[in-house]
């Protein structure tokens, strides 16, 4: 992609700030660090693992039989009195012992018609968790990119203020020399000193803004807030697709929209799942039994059984107090809610893209004006300084040119940053902030 580069060669800004001249950090490296360490991404990935685990559990519960094995041994010692029909005399057995040993394996398989629908619903939930993880990645990439360029913007503003302070220092020296030589009054000298101190205060305040911007970037990368680094002092603006192309891409690639579509599918499947529960349910069972009983009392001294038992049944729910009907009605209401939510998000997405694109296009149109205004203001400041040095211009004329130059520079670099900010937002909304599904193949629109 062809790039339009708007370069401000301010030099190494960080060397003038204590604590900022450290390891160089470009945007690609910042994003890589963020993707490796950002905790929101790690949480999203773990949620994907949970959903995949739920899906595997569902397969086991819905389509696999349950098999239980039981082994039992019991003993008894009792005094027994027995009377038989053909023998009126009672029979007394003291300390009669009995032993029972039982082993059985029971297998049960039940097929519910709604099982297939349940698996589809679990599959949709797994896809939703995967899309949510991608949303976390996209938001992290967009957040780090914006914070990175915000830091560059504040560094450029610092250099603008530094140049303004240099002009104020030159003006102060001139006013002091004129005052000492009697060519100007003390008021001009004191006014120049006040303006110089004011510009010095702005420069110090800008240092704090830069430090906070670095902390914000470190937070998104999940590193220590005070870990120092240096960044390059340019912002490169790439070409964006047309509004129609952005909207088409968004309706195909926007992860939040895909999540809304999956949620609508889940609501539909929940209705189908409840409706399918009205169908007959098939249950199959089989049992292997091995049982041995020994007794000192009774007709049988030993009884032993082994073999298989099997069978099945079909169950149909005939009445459940109208609970199922009410659940189906609620599921249909939920489905309508999700459908309306999907339509609402589609409208919102188109509106967000339109707003971001309008801002982006307008800033592009303003950029040339700001560049011309910056050139005029810079030339005017140079002329005003020379006129002030020669004693032709007043301090008010010079200060006015100086302030106009400061404003023009700030507006220009702010315009470039806003173009880049909207570019990042448009890429995020259209789902094109990275092309591949894997975070290893990120296509970063930075160069």
pLDDT score at 16: 33
Q: Is the pLDDT of residue 438 over 80?
A: no
Among 141, 134, 142, 155, residue whose Cα is nearest residue 356 = 142
pLDDT score at 279: 87
Distance CA 399, CA 383 (A): 12
Which residues have CB under 8 Å from 414's CB, separation 6+? 153
Cβ 212 vs Cβ 391: under 8 Å:
no
List the single range of 112-126, 220-234, 295-309, 342-356 with lowest mean pLDDT: 295-309
pLDDT score at 110: 82
Tens of pLDDT along 119-146? 888 889 999 999 999 999 999 999 999 9
Half-sphere CA count of 139, side-chain side, radius 13 A:
13
Distance CA 169, CA 388 (A): 13
pLDDT score at 377: 85
Other CB atoms closer than 10 Å to residue 288's CB: what's the count?
15
Q: Is the pLDDT of residue 77 over 50?
A: yes
Identify which has the larger pLDDT, 312 or 178.
312
List the single range of 129-138, 175-184, 196-205, 363-372 with lowest mean pLDDT: 175-184
Identify which has the larger pLDDT, 2 or 146.
146
Cβ 156 vs Cβ 219: under 8 Å:
no
pLDDT score at 324: 85
pLDDT score at 436: 36
Q: What is the DSSP letter of 14?
A: G
Tens of pLDDT along 197-217? 988 999 999 999 999 999 999
Other CB atoms closer than 10 Å to residue 320's CB: what's the count?
12
Q: Which helix (H) or strand (E) element contains residue 116?
A: helix 115-180
Distance separating the N- and C-terminal Cα atoms of the chain: 9
Among 422, 444, 252, residue whose Cα is nearest residue 352 = 422
Q: Which helix (H) or strand (E) element contains residue 348?
A: helix 323-389
Q: How many residues does the chain have?
A: 447
Strand pairing class (234-238; 281-295): unpaired
Average pLDDT, the chain: 82
- Confidence label for 340 from pLDDT (cuts 50, 70 and 90): very high
Q: Give, in order, the Cα–Cα distances in Å from 175 to each of 179, 188, 214, 226, 386.
A: 6, 6, 38, 42, 13
Tens of pLDDT along 384-414? 878 877 777 677 777 788 888 888 888 898 8
Identify which has the larger pLDDT, 95 or 445.
95
Cβ 269 vs Cβ 124: under 8 Å:
yes
Q: Is the pLDDT of residue 15 over 80?
A: no
Q: What is the DSSP letter of 15?
A: G
Distance CA 178, CA 266 (A): 81
Q: Is the pLDDT of residue 437 over 60?
A: no
Distance CA 135, CA 433 (A): 11
Other CB atoms closer than 10 Å to residue 140's CB: what's the count?
23
- With a pLDDT cut of 90, the percent of the chain lying above it is 28
**Cα angle vertex 416, ends 370, 371, to 5°?**
20
Q: Which helix (H) or strand (E) element contains residue 119?
A: helix 115-180
- Beta-bridge mates of residue 153: none
Tens of pLDDT along 242-298? 888 999 999 999 999 999 999 999 999 999 988 888 888 888 888 888 888 877 666
pLDDT score at 382: 83
149-175 average pLDDT score:
87
pLDDT score at 54: 83
Q: Which of the following CATH numbers is that of domain 3-64+127-278+324-441: 3.90.79.10, 3.40.390.10, 2.40.50.140, 1.20.1600.10?
A: 1.20.1600.10
The first and second tokens of residue 365, run together, are 């149109």
Distance CA 161, CA 351 (A): 38
Q: Is the pLDDT of residue 163 over 90?
A: no
Strand pairing class (281-295; 302-315): antiparallel
Tens of pLDDT along 226-251? 888 888 767 777 777 788 899 999 99
340-347 average pLDDT score:
95
Q: Is the pLDDT of residue 310 over 90?
A: no
Distance CA 433, CA 304 (A): 74
Q: What is the CA radius of gyration of the chain?
A: 40
The first and second tokens of residue 406, run together, are 């400061």
């Amino acid at each position: 992609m062809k790039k339009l580069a708007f370069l401000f060669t301010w030099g190494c800004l960080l060397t003038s700030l204590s604590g900022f001249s450290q390891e160089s950090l470009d945007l690609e490296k910042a994003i890589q660090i963020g993707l490796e360490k950002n905790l929101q991404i790690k949480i999203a990935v773990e949620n994907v693992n949970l959903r995949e685990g739920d899906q595997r559990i569902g397969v086991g519960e819905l389509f696999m039989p349950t098999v239980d094995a039981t082994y039992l041994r019991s003993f008894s010692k009792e005094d027994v009195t027995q009377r038989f029909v053909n023998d009126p005399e009672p029979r007394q057995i003291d300390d009669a012992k009995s032993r029972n040993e039982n082993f059985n394996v029971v297998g049960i398989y039940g097929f519910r018609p709604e099982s297939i629908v349940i698996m589809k619903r679990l599959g949709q939930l797994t896809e939703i968790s995967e899309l949510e993880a991608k949303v976390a990645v996209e938001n992290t990439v967009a957040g780090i990119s914006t914070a990175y360029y915000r830091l560059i913007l504040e560094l450029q503003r610092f250099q603008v203020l530094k140049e303004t302070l240099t002009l104020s220092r030159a003006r102060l020296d001139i006013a002091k020399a004129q005052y000492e030589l009697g060519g100007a009054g003390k008021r001009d000298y004191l006014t120049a000193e006040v303006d110089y101190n004011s510009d010095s205060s702005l420069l110090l305040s800008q240092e704090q803004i830069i430090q906070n911007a670095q902390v914000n970037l470190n937070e998104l990368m999940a590193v220590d807030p005070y870990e120092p680094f240096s960044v390059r002092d340019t912002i490169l603006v790439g070409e964006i697709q047309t509004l129609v192309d952005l909207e088409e891409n968004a309706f195909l690639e926007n992860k939040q929209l895909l999540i809304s579509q999956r949620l609508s599918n889940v609501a539909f499947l929940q209705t189908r799942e409840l409706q399918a529960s009205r169908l007959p349910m098939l249950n199959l069972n089989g049992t292997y039994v091995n049982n041995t009983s020994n007794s000192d009392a009774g007709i049988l001294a030993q009884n032993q059984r082994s073999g298989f038992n099997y069978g099945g049944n079909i169950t149909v729910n005939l009445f459940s107090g109208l609970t199922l009907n009410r659940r189906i009605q609620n599921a249909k209401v939920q489905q309508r809610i999700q459908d309306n939510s999907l339509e609402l998000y589609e409208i919102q997405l188109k509106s967000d893209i339109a707003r971001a694109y309008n801002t982006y296009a307008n800033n592009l149109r303003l950029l040339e004006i700001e560049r011309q205004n910056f050139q005029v203001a810079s030339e005017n400041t140079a002329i005003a300084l020379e006129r002030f040095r020669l004693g032709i211009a007043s301090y008010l004329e010079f200060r006015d040119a100086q302030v106009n130059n400061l404003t023009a520079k700030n507006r220009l670099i702010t315009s470039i940053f806003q173009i880049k900010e909207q570019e990042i937002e448009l890429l995020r909304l259209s789902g094109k902030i990275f092309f591949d599904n894997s975070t290893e193949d990120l296509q970063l629109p930075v160069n």
